[in-house]
Chain A
Amino acid sequence: MSVPGGSGSSNHFTARLARRTASARTATTYWLGFAVVLALLIVAPLVLPEFWRRFVTEILIWGLLAMSSDILIGYTGMVSFGHSVFFGIGMYGAAAALLTVRPPNLWLALLYGLVAAGLVAVFVAYFSTRLRDIYFAITTLVFSQIFYVIIFTWTEVTGGENGLTFRQPPLAIPGVLSAAFTPVTLHWFVLGVVTLSYLLLRRVTQSPFGMVLQSIRENEPRTRAIGYHVERYKIVAVMLSGLVAGLAGVLYAIQNKFVAPDFVFFVVSGEVVIFNVMGGMGTLVGPVAGAAFFLLLREGLSRFWTEYYLIPVGIIFTLMVIWIPQGLLGFAKRRLNQ
């Protein structure tokens, strides 16, 4: 997928040159901004009322999911329309751990969720990465529907349409502490996981591996011609993305204490794509901002419009695809640079 700003090679070159001279300054600005945002998010649950506290936690979880799909959409140029499958399977994995093992264990839930999402990701990656562009989008969509149908109809194990409910595990570090989650500690836990994942993903996208992914996005045949095994890189990208999405699923399951097939359904995948487009693909932070923007829009609009809030949101989304494909973050960046 072509990405704004990367249209011409000379344009690219000057941009890179300019970036290098200003890199020291931008790095400081970046970490300063990172610290400020992190500090705000740490303080947030202490000052916000109950509703908004929960809201911010939820933004973080959806943001993590959006970030995971950004690895594919923004960095590798593969639009996944089936990200709900990794998210949902992560949730069901966590549910399996919390329902079968007594007493419920947080770390086991994480492990089960990640393993489940990872296995599904291997399966999906193996088949879908042989295809490109729209075919990749359609295949991921179809895979998510396959798992949706299985989960929806396999009532004995998955609870079918009703889903499963379970108890929240305590926040336990063996030998150190064990305490039930309060909304504030849950928020901090989620924030910790999301921050670590973000730093990890950021490191990955800046590593040589991440560079290869971006070169696949810019020009796949050329990347192959240089000698990179494109399919292998794509498989790893889908797996990484699936794992992180599964992690988001585990967090969501722990926060809400239930799972339902709705989370595997296409609607969630669609929302993830919306987060990415709204926030700005290929920036990692952008999708989180997109998730926040979308959830705020939904919150604000659904007060007057109830479920019809998707009409204005859909119109805004479509207009953004046409006129500001670089998303809110890219748009703001360009404005600031002028």
Chain B
Amino acid sequence: MAIPFDQILIQTVNGLVNGMILALVASGLTLIFGIMDVVNFAHGDLVMLGAFVGATTIAATGSFWLAFLVAALVIAVFGAALQASTLRPLLGRDPLTTILATFGISLVLQKYALWQWGPSARKIQEPITGQFAMFYLEYPWYRVATAFFAGAIIGAFWLFLKYGRYGIWIRATMQDRIMASAMGIPVPLVHTAVFAIGAAMAAASGVLFGPLGGVTQTMGFDFTLRAFIVVVVGGMGNLGGSILAAIFISLLEAYASIIVSPSQAVIVSFMALILTLLFRPTGLFVPTPK
């Protein structure tokens, strides 16, 4: 079976766009795991909540970018409250306990969204409406802009981690919690802040994703699962690895969906995860541990 070249190219662009959104979700997840050993099962639901808050704000104000900011801020505050109330008591316990606790939170958030916003899908109006011709498709500029925008957020965040004063605090806490605390870094505050940042990034990707796929209260699980896959394939707690893995997985799925239906293409990324876990459990995109 010959696969037309134009289809491959279109799927490459699709894969890259989805990959950048996913990278934004996954980098929050991996950061939260890296710093406090919390496997956040509710991460996808933060994406969903962010998208809903964004959609509501747009309905009220009509401005996409305002909605983007509001969603990120609201979910950041919410995330901080969540971390302080449910995850702080679990600090130092088995990471499995945190999976259980965040799983409970995920249930609550999903049903809350259903209660608050109803079962019907919402569509966020895209702020950039132009299209350009790509083979037989009119490809929306918004998708391309999304990829760049997500990339910019990740880049800015990376710079913050690398050079910012508080970024250095975060990295220090990641490396050695006790030593960081001895150096005068307020570790509990850093934990809460990191969770808030991760939540804000999730909310941001939710709003960015809104125009592409619609907003429903069940979209969270899909994001959680994908972000898990990405984070494991990229190496738990490794930011750069997660970003590469997000693009890798999304491209794989995009190419697979040329041949099979998109719902079956998911299996390809599941396989990628299982193979990674079996043959390179430290992650695909990290240097080999010595």
State the A residues within 8 Å of B (CB).
Answer: 1-2, 79, 81, 127, 130-131, 133-135, 137-139, 141-143, 145-146, 149-150, 152-153, 266, 270, 273-274, 277, 307-308, 310-311, 313-315, 317-318, 321-322, 325
Contacts and interface: CB of A to CB of B under 8 A. Distances in A.
A134 B232 CA distance: 10
B161 interface: no
B108 A273 contact: no
Contact of A152 (B100, B225, B263): B263
B241 to A, nearest CB: 15
Chain B interface residue number, banded = 35 or more
A307 B114 contact: yes
Given A146-B270, A313-B107, A322 B278 contact: no
A1 B90 CA distance: 13
B186 interface: no
A137 B99 contact: yes
B267 A149 contact: yes
Contacts of B266: 145, 149
7 contacts: A2-B94, A127-B274, A141-B228, A142-B228, A270-B103, A311-B115, A322-B86
A134 B95 contact: yes
Interface of B: 39, 86, 89-90, 93-97, 99-101, 103-108, 110-112, 114-115, 221, 225, 228-229, 232, 261, 263-264, 266-267, 270, 273-274, 277-278, 281
A138 B114 contact: no
Contacts of A81: 99
A334 B53 CA distance: 44
A141 B228 CA distance: 10
Contacts of A311: 107-108, 111-112, 115
Given A314-B108, A321-B100, A308 B95 contact: no
B273 A142 contact: yes
B105 A314 contact: yes
B96 A321 contact: no
Given A149-B266, A321-B104, A322-B101, A134 B86 contact: no
Contacts of B106: 314
Given A139-B277, A277-B100, A318 B264 contact: no
Contacts of A310: 107-108, 110-111
A161 to B, nearest CB: 11
B214 to A, nearest CB: 20
B277 A79 contact: no
A318 B104 contact: yes
A79 B95 CA distance: 11
Nearest to A265: B221
A328 B156 CA distance: 47
Given A270-B107, A273-B100, A318-B86, 19 more contacts: A1-B97, A79-B96, A79-B100, A127-B278, A134-B99, A137-B96, A139-B277, A143-B270, A145-B266, A146-B267, A150-B267, A153-B261, A153-B264, A311-B108, A311-B112, A314-B108, A318-B105, A321-B100, A322-B89
B108 A135 contact: no
Contacts of A274: 104
Given A138-B228, A273-B100, A266 B221 contact: yes
B184 to A, nearest CB: 29
Identify the 6 closest CB pairs spanning chains A and B, nearest first: A318-B104, A314-B107, A314-B108, A317-B104, A310-B111, A321-B101
A141 B114 CA distance: 24
B231 to A, nearest CB: 9
A229 B205 CA distance: 45
A135 B281 contact: yes
A12 to B, nearest CB: 18
A315 B96 CA distance: 18
A318 B108 contact: yes
Nearest to B225: A145
Given A146-B267, A311-B115, A317-B107, A138 B232 contact: yes
Nearest to B228: A138
Contacts of B101: 318, 321-322
A149 B263 contact: yes
Contacts of A142: 225, 228-229, 270, 273-274
B115 A308 contact: yes
